[in-house]
Structure 1
Amino acid sequence: MALRSGVRLDTVVIAHREPRIEASLEAELLHGQVPVRRLSDRVAAAVLGCEKRPRVLAVGRRPLPCTLDALARRTGDIVVLDGVRLVGNIGAIIRSASARGAAGVVLVDPGPVAVHDRRVVRASRGLVFALPVVIADRDDLRRFLQSSDIPLVSLTATAAVPLAGLAAVPRRVTLLLGGERRGSSRELEDLAEHRFAVPMASAVESLNVSVVGALALFVRRGP
């Protein structure tokens, strides 16, 4: 996915022998003129460990950071993750956003998570290289929303309007998702023009943020 998205790879290392993987990779990498190296099972185990050993590694040039203004020039809705720090959730939302043609994802207060953290790459199935992901603070996002005239839509369990109403918003929007513990910040919540909630059975307290994000993206774009 990195190669298909224009990332420059200097070399690829195959650390697990599997003929099907090697054949398909080599065909694509040969076309891109990327050198391929192999590690023996003994060396791979010594260097990478025995548990959750990656099958393929690559050394490449990190893509240039994307900006909020660049997202405004793209088509599709924008997803904002406010205080979402679990890399699995971030990667899953990037994957859903890519599937539904979103313009990009904005990470606000993601903690120490880097955009191209290997865990984000794995959780997004490499789509973090295909979809713009921006790290921004809340002041930058507030200025962006005001200047771009893209309405902010909050997805919160306390909203009175069910999620199905999201499909009726006529313009492209910015979808706000907060961390599961604290939700989105009051600073950004106060900027929301619309608020929607996922209807749930009374015995269920909350949903995983990546599930809410996927539901919203699919409701938003329709069938």
Structure 2
Amino acid sequence: MSLTQVLTNPNGFFAEKAKTEVEMRTPILIILVIAVLGAINGVIMTRKIMEILPPEAAAFASIGAIGAAIGAFIGAFFMWIIYSGVFYAISSILGGEGSFKRVLEAVAYGFIPSIASSIIGVIVIATSFSMENFDMQNPELMEQAMLNDPTMRMSMILGILFTLWSANIWIFGLVHARHMSVKNAAISVLVPVGLYILYTASKFM
């Protein structure tokens, strides 16, 4: 089984996975890559903010960069557990059977599209995003300006598309990890993912 099969034929991939023991080394590595990319993105964004800070405030920005990196790194593992827990809980209501560890494994593989999304995000933020026209004195206006920024909007759209790709993988992951029908697995995945997408999109409206 190759990792590319997760992207092209998730049903077949997880059908084969279900015949083997749960293996967590690869899933942890997947989340680790996403965590590192998130940390890099956090540092880049903090450095962008540093460029428009007054000299006396910029001295504290390095601490902010470290905090952003650590937060993003830990956040990747936190989201992995949260997604797995939510899918496990909903699938339990719908009659799913199977270990939480198997769900953790399947959910991690579903995050593979997020690696591509994170790489694109890092490149876009590093090369196209500028803080020059933002007003640091008014946090509310600054937040609104960031949400209206074309670069941020494009990142949001790409993020939603990659999340939907992940959702497709998670559905088949649950089918085999929790011994469910495709319909019930789809409900288990698409309800929380749909709410997340609606929440994300609403901030840009």
Q: Report the TM-score, using the length of structure 1 for normalisation.
A: 0.26
Bigger relative contact order, structure 1 or 2 (CA pairs below 8 A, ≥6 apart)? 2
- Answer 1 or 2: which has greater helix percent: 2
